[in-house]
Amino acid sequence: MSDENIYSNHTYSYMHLRKAVGWLGIALPFVLVIGAYFLVKEEAFQDSISHYYHTSMRDIFVGSVCSIALFMFFYSGYDKWDNLAGNIAGFAAIGIALFPTTAVGESDWIGKAHYFFTAIFFITLSVFSLWLFRKGKKIAEQTPEKKKRNVIYLVCGIIMIACMVGITIYQNFFYQENKTRFTFIAETIALIAFGFSWLVKGEAILADE
């Protein structure tokens, strides 16, 4: 097999992996809700996605997060910054799985560690969308599809940041007074934005001709 064919196969493999992690991120909240309601007959909507750790859907939650972590560890980008961001996101995802959120009441140190790793995870994913995915040729040299993809990356990154800011404000100022599913909804939106940006990066959408 020629070097060109080997490079092409590796490129297609990474495209498929990007699509896979994109679908995984999008599907996770819906799988947890549907599984909790139909399979184990528990409360379908938890306070947050992380709270499914304390339900019968724990293995699905932990397994999905660890799968994302493994992909991030083995993700090989275009330069050292891609690789560094992938490693940080991978470590953060492992931290999310190993340090579960506090089930009820005020967060203990494990719960605080969980929020820390969650924040690092989504901030890093935002960096992918806002900066790393948008790098490349100068605007004048970009294909029309690349320009459109860059707009999508920008929007997805802004959505993820907005969701994290919203969750932080809600948890610190409104959670105790008015408990809603805001955190769950915001995390779901952030995961959809994350997954969609990786689908686009895998060129499942707006692929270059």
**What are the residue boundaries of the structural domains of the chain, listed by start?**
3-201
- pLDDT for res 20: 85
DSSP helix/strand/coil, 209: coil
DSSP assignment letter at 37? I
Residues 6+ apart with CB under 8 A from 3: none
- pLDDT for res 164: 94
pTM of the model: 0.86
CB 110 within 8 A of CB 89: no
Is residue 208 over pLDDT 80? no
Q: Nearest 5 degrees, angle CA 201-CA 206-CA 209?
A: 105
Query: 85-116: per-residue pLDDT in tens?
Result: 999 999 999 999 999 998 877 788 999 999 99
Alpha carbon separation from 163 to 23, 26, 126, 151, 183 (Å, rounded): 19, 15, 11, 18, 9
The total number of residues shown for the chain amounts to: 209
Between 157 and 174, residue with greater pLDDT = 157
* pLDDT, mean of residues 198-204: 84
Query: 37-70: per-residue pLDDT in tens?
Result: 888 888 889 989 999 999 999 999 999 999 999 9
